[in-house]
Structure 1
Amino acid sequence: MKFSLIQIASFLGILVLFSSFDSENKVSKKIVVENKLHFDRNEVVSIRLNANKSLSEIKDFSALLVKDASGKLVVTQLIDNNLDGTPDELLFKAAVPAKSKVSYTLFTDSKLKTPKSSNTTYARFVPERIDDFAWENDRVAFRTYGPEAQRLVEEGKEGGTLSSGIDLWLKKVNYSIIDSWYAKNVTAPGYYHIEHGEGYDPYHVGSSRGTGGTGIWEKDSLHISKNYTKYRVIAKGPLRTIFELDYAPWSKYGVTETKRISLDLGSNFSKFENKISSSSAIPNYTLGITLHKEKGIVAINTQKGVFRYWEPIDDSFVGEGIVIDPKVVKSALDHRSKAADQSQILVVTAPKNNTLTYYVGFAWTGSAQVQTVQDWDKMLERQAQIIQNPLLVIIK
């Protein structure tokens, strides 16, 4: 039997097609996730796609999937950290009991899709509220303020906010509220300052650091930046939101900052990775937590790198905190002042290689995540242990 050139070419094309499917389906790796701590953990973990040759050669990362030991697909998210168009990490959430190991399988299958998540993380620039930048997950929400809000204040106009502090939004629902609250605030100004059943924003920042803002502590004074000048969204998805905020040079030291902030699903803590540069050596790069009207309880633990405030707000309580590697903490103080917004916990640090990494979080009794200061202390203690003992991920 003779075959035409067209038939031969068609046959070869089919072979190539099936070969590509076969090659794709051969990618299967066992992932072992180990929890060395004494409590159960349910956290987002990362697979570095360029750390394993068989993964880095995959052309279509959207075909990557993860299933648990029972064969159930779990939610995944691809992250392109440098925005070059190629994913760098694959995220999934691992549930690992105390002092245990759990196995997952990483594989490719173009016919299957990662399952949808009922909850998500989220972040965006908010032009309908001047130029806020807000972010949230299923447990907490934060915001800070941009250059237009700063300009309005400096020109003596209404509606602006001059602050590089970090604001907290108290939410009691696990779904996203940012878009809804801002939209309703357009038609009913001040909407999100009133409790409507989902939570509200009673938290005052002003010129304070809010929870986790930065400054330079020198001669009993805290020198601070103005509002962020630029933003970049790196990722937003079911498991992790990442963005960056730039700040113009400030203080006599000409400090410039780029804060890369990330928030994982299920966590009460935003991770800050601050890149810092200056025209001369910075004496005391400092983090702060406002004490508002000083009615709360302060706890400072430099040995563990845990700094806590527990305060009454309206008819409930809010716990705020900073968790940081104690090796980069120089000192900390409970600073009280008669000046407005200047009573604060101040954590003086020694950044390494012009970078400081720390975690900023809170919990509100209205959300039922905590009920007592002891609950909040336990959450902070666990976060400190998590930082020192990340889940160990091994690909086999």
Structure 2
Amino acid sequence: MKKLLLLCMTAMFCFACSESKTVTVTVTNPLAMERSNEIVEVSMAEISNQLNLADTAQIVVLNADGRQVPYQITYDEKVIFPVTVAANGNVVYTIKAGIPETFDVKACGKYYPNRLDDVAWENDLVAFRAYGPALQAKGERGYGYDLFTKRDTTEPMLEAMYAKETDKARRAELNELKKTDPKTAGKLLREMSYHIDHGHGMDCYAVGPTLGAGVAALMVNDTIVYPWCYKDQEILDNGPLRFTAKLVFNPLNVKGDTTVVETRLITLDAGSHLNKTAVSYSNLKEALPIAAGIVLHEPDGAVVTNAADGYITYVDPTNGPNNGKIFMGAAVPTVVKEAKAVLFSEQEKKQRNNADGHVLAISDYEPGSDYVYYWGFAWNKADIKTPEAWNQYMADFAQKVRNPLTVSISK
């Protein structure tokens, strides 16, 4: 009995010790601009070791005022949380054992086998999808990323949009109405379609056989080696602050070599207009140019190409007369050798659903490495209203990824 009591007291003492222990996380901003709601990450293993946490223990992250901030433990064992740091400043956060509050989901996604194998994801600002093998099996050439605009909500919206779009019973009703009452059928189709803005956004973007909203692709003799739809998918993180998906593709034909396999790791964090994507190619035999690209839907559209600072932008006209403008962008933290708009020939325009070309940020890819870049958009019906504001966002974003926040941990 005495031994049991001693063991219980020892356990309680250890728990009390872990409760009182804290880890200090100092975040430093090297730039002369404020960094607001930017996600940082620290090692969960290091936090656990310093706090002497049990396997089932939970943690809380506190700001300088002692208030909890949302966090997530990622698939690769990182603790991520949003920080705000003044220009050239630093800020301190504290991590300790505790019961976290419930926080809203700001980033999430899903695999949709009932919509031709789409993988679709979103955060509080933007939404995207990548096309899958069922679409490719139909012969459709959906090479690029697609996007969904988003406004007047920070909550997840895609699942509800897909539910309406893929409702089997209503689809059957629609097919019957098309035969007997085309007017009512048209009304029902508009109610179901995610190509119509019902108050929070829509799909009004054209992809087709192009790089779409920001796919990166190898180039051989200035010719893009287009990927097709993904072959395999795995969702690794699903909120509340980060969505991560791994996509693996069928082998490419690169200079006659049909063994080159592309893998993408796509990450979207809460509060960001841009995805981070790491692209790698197995079995590639030599270094080649790689281009992050955005399709052009006007031959003389508003394009910004800044190779020195590592970003490109484009104002997309959208599908439909009243759907506003979509501000597209991509940023590359490493060297961009060339940034330019490349227009299609008349013959290639016909092959690419009458798209006009691409704006490209071209770098070098070394076999065995990861090519990391960022891509995304804003909508002028949402938080960023003008091309000037978007270009400034992209210029600032490009600086941030080239000058990341530094994070240090101490007891």
Q: Same-fold call, TM > 0.5?
A: yes
Q: Distance in 1 between matches of 2:141 and 2:316?
A: 24
Instruction: State yes or no: 1:124 paired with 2:110.
Output: yes
Instruction: State yes or no: 1:366 paired with 2:381.
Output: yes
Instruction: Give the equivalent residue in structure 1 for 2:196.
Output: 194
Instruction: Give the equivalent residue in structure 2 for 1:212.
Output: 214
Instruction: Give the equivalent residue in structure 2 for 1:288.
Output: 293
Q: Deviations over 1:95-123 (max 9, x none)?
A: 222222211111113xx2x2222341001
Q: Distance in 2 between matches of 1:290 and 1:151?
A: 23
Instruction: State yes or no: 1:323 paired with 2:323.
Output: no
In structure 2, relative to structure 1, the CA distance for the partners of 1:282 and 1:149 (3 Å cut) is farther
Name which of 126, 138, 143 aligns with 1:152: 138
Q: Please list, as runs of the form range in 1=range in 2, the aligned pairs for 1:222-261 lying within 5 A after superposition.
A: 222-251=224-253, 252-254=256-258, 255-261=260-266
* AA aligned opposite 1:14: C
Name which of 35, 38, 58 aligns with 2:32: 38
Q: Distance in 1 between matches of 2:147 and 2:262?
A: 21
Q: Distance in 2 between matches of 1:224 and 1:247?
A: 11
* AA aligned opposite 1:232: E
Q: Distance in 2 between matches of 1:62 and 1:150?
A: 45
Aligned pair count reads 372
Instruction: Give the equivalent residue in structure 1 for 2:72.
Output: 77
Contact persistence 2:109–2:120 (CA under 8 A):
yes
Question: Structure 1: which 5+ residue stretches go unaligned?
Answer: 1-6, 82-87, 154-160
Q: Secondary structure at the match of 1:211?
A: coil
Q: Distance in 2 between matches of 1:225 and 1:62?
A: 44
Instruction: Give the equivalent residue in structure 2 for 1:276.
Output: 281
Name which of 8, 13, 22 aligns with 2:16: 22
Give 1:375 shift. 0.3
Identity in percent: 28
Give 1:279 shift. 4.4
Instruction: Give the equivalent residue in structure 1 for 2:307.
Output: 302
Give 1:53 shift. 7.6
Q: Secondary structure at the match of 1:350?
A: strand
Contact persistence 2:247–2:265 (CA under 8 A):
yes
In structure 2, relative to structure 1, the CA distance for the partners of 1:186 and 1:260 (3 Å cut) is same
Q: Deviations over 1:265-311 (max 9, x none)?
A: 00001000112223432532222110023352111111111111113
Instruction: State yes or no: 1:267 paired with 2:281.
Output: no
In structure 2, relative to structure 1, the CA distance for the partners of 1:174 and 1:15 (3 Å cut) is same
* AA aligned opposite 1:298: V
Q: Distance in 2 between matches of 1:61 and 1:318?
A: 45
Q: TM-score, normalised by structure 1?
A: 0.88
Deviates more, 1:203-212 or 1:50-59: 50-59
* AA aligned opposite 1:204: A
Q: Distance in 1 between matches of 2:57 and 2:69?
A: 14
* AA aligned opposite 2:361: V
Give 1:67 shift. 0.9
Give 1:89 shift. 1.1
In structure 2, relative to structure 1, the CA distance for the partners of 1:143 and 1:115 (3 Å cut) is same
Contact persistence 1:232–1:245 (CA under 8 A):
yes
Alpha carbon RMSD of aligned pairs, Å? 2.0
Contact persistence 1:295–1:311 (CA under 8 A):
no
In structure 2, relative to structure 1, the CA distance for the partners of 1:310 and 1:59 (3 Å cut) is same
Give 1:219 shift. 3.9
Name which of 348, 352, 356 aligns with 2:362: 348
Q: Please list, as runs of the form range in 1=range in 2, the aligned pairs for 1:61-210 lying within 5 A after superposition.
A: 62-81=57-76, 88-109=77-98, 112=99, 114-153=100-139, 161-172=140-151, 173-187=153-167, 191-210=193-212
Q: TM-score, normalised by structure 2?
A: 0.85
Instruction: State yes or no: 1:54 paired with 2:49.
Output: yes
Contact persistence 1:302–1:326 (CA under 8 A):
no
Contact persistence 2:21–2:51 (CA under 8 A):
no
Instruction: Give the equivalent residue in structure 2 for 1:332.
Output: 339
Q: Secondary structure at the match of 2:194?
A: helix
Q: Distance in 1 between matches of 2:331 and 2:163?
A: 33
Q: Distance in 1 between matches of 2:24 and 2:380?
A: 40
In structure 2, relative to structure 1, the CA distance for the partners of 1:62 and 1:384 (3 Å cut) is farther
Contact persistence 1:124–1:135 (CA under 8 A):
yes
Q: Distance in 1 between matches of 2:299 and 2:160?
A: 32
Give 1:348 shift. 2.2
* AA aligned opposite 1:383: F
Deviates more, 1:139-148 or 1:219-228: 219-228
Q: Secondary structure at the match of 1:309?
A: strand
Instruction: Give the equivalent residue in structure 1 for 2:316.
Output: 311
* AA aligned opposite 1:336: L
